[in-house]
Amino acid sequence: MKKIKTAVIGTGHLGKLHTKLLREVDNCEFIGIYDKDSVKAKEAGAEFGVNVFETLEDLFSKAEAVSIVATTSAHYELCKAALEKGIHVFVEKPITAQIWEGEEIVNLAEKNNLKLQVGHIERFNPALLSLGSFNLNPMFVQSDRLSLFNPRGTDVAVVLDLMIHDIDIILSLVKSEVKNVSASGIAVVSNNIDIANTRIEFENGAVANVTASRISQKRMRKMRMFQREGYISVDFMAGSAEIYRLVEPGSGLTDGIISFGEMGIGDRKRMLIYEQPQVKEVNALKHELQLFVNAVAMDEQPVVSGLDGLKALRVADTIIKKIEESTVTF
């Protein structure tokens, strides 16, 4: 299979991880890095022993695909510039800072027949991947993503920094359009919203209650999903998942599955079983980068498309606006 000439734009903490891992990705010919801060770029180049491009124009003249790992405010200009040069784009989440920016680059990628993948890394968390064989159709979702304070990322609201991970996952699992959004939140230690809670209601009756905080005393990244005859818990930090579900008596019992006996009313008996899906060791970032390169090499639709990223951004933007509208100043 053809190797795709790929470069990284941005040499911060995450950009360095992209640089390290892309060189390990199959079908990828890593050609170098660029950062507008030439000192940082040269330091990263020396650290990894890779080529440093002095200008974006030089990079664009040689690359077939790029991984954009810059601040959110720079996503639009960088994505647009790459797509206009006919280059496939992987861009870290959120896709852009503004809705219109996201719409423009999604349309530009489609117009130029280019791949646009958004880095919603939790889609590739081993715990979530372990549920691939289960029929997930959640009707109520409780999600909590709590983090210790870190100045990195505070240039945007916690909704765009942390909560958008869960918004993207929920939108991918609930097979219905969003009907209504309500939200509350406040800025505590930064100039942007640091803690937020939202209730997302869908046309099919499903509801998601989502909390995100970057000022907590402990870390938590959990999602609990309830659906007809099933309860699924995902711990993104621990990389594990648990499933409780009702099955017909005598069915669904294989190795690793525990039965808690029958339950139900009258003739409608069900057996309650518990299982922990087998979780495979997966480097989520390397996996999503591999899938991006594969999508380019094999002309396939990216797993997390630009449109997926735009849908998540639209919901996140609505949440932020709801919070701003309800904020009372004294």
Q: What is the pLDDT of residues 178-234, one digit of tens each?
A: 999 999 999 998 888 999 999 999 999 999 999 999 999 899 999 999 998 899 999
**Lowest mean pLDDT, pick from 31-40, 125-134, 144-153, 247-256:** 247-256
Strands 240-247 and 207-213: unpaired
Same-domain pairing of 104 and 183: no
The region that residue 256 occupies, defined by phi over 0 for left and psi between -120 and 50 for alpha, beta otherwise, is left
311 domain-assigned: no
Domain total of the chain: 2
Please name the residues in contact with 230: beta carbons below 8 A apart, sequence gap of 6 or more.
243, 244, 245, 246
pLDDT number for residue 91:
98
Beta bridge partners of 90: 67, 117
pLDDT number for residue 208:
98
* CATH code, domain carrying 111: 3.40.50.720
Instruction: Look up residue 135 and give its two tokens.
Output: 């029929």
Query: Read out DSSP for 96-119?
Result: -SSHHHHHHHHHHHHHTT--EEEE
pLDDT band at 13 (very low <50, low <70, confident <90, very high): very high
pLDDT band at 155 (very low <50, low <70, confident <90, very high): confident
Which amino acid is located at 217 in the chain? Q
Same-domain pairing of 130 and 241: yes
Give SS3 for 15. helix
Same-domain pairing of 45 and 146: no
Please name the residues in contact with 180: beta carbons below 8 A apart, sequence gap of 6 or more.
200, 201
Which amino acid is located at 5 in the chain? K
Torsion (CA) 321, 10, 294, 239 in degrees, nearest 10: -60
For the chain, the average pLDDT equals 92
Same-domain pairing of 107 and 181: no
Same-domain pairing of 83 and 151: no
310 domain-assigned: no
Same-domain pairing of 249 and 129: yes
CB atoms within 10 A of CB 232: 21
Sheet holding 207-213, edge to edge: 178-186, 195-202, 207-213, 140-146, 220-227, 230-235, 240-247, 268-275, 257-265
The model scores a pTM over 0.95 = no
Same-domain pairing of 176 and 290: no
| CA distance readout (Å), 167 to 15, 160, 173, 176 | 24, 10, 10, 13
More confident call, 252 vs 221? 221
Closest CA to 72 of 195, 190, 162, 156: 156
For 173, the domain range is 124-281+316-326
Sheet holding 116-119, edge to edge: 28-34, 4-9, 65-68, 88-92, 116-119
Same-domain pairing of 59 and 147: no
pLDDT band at 329 (very low <50, low <70, confident <90, very high): very low
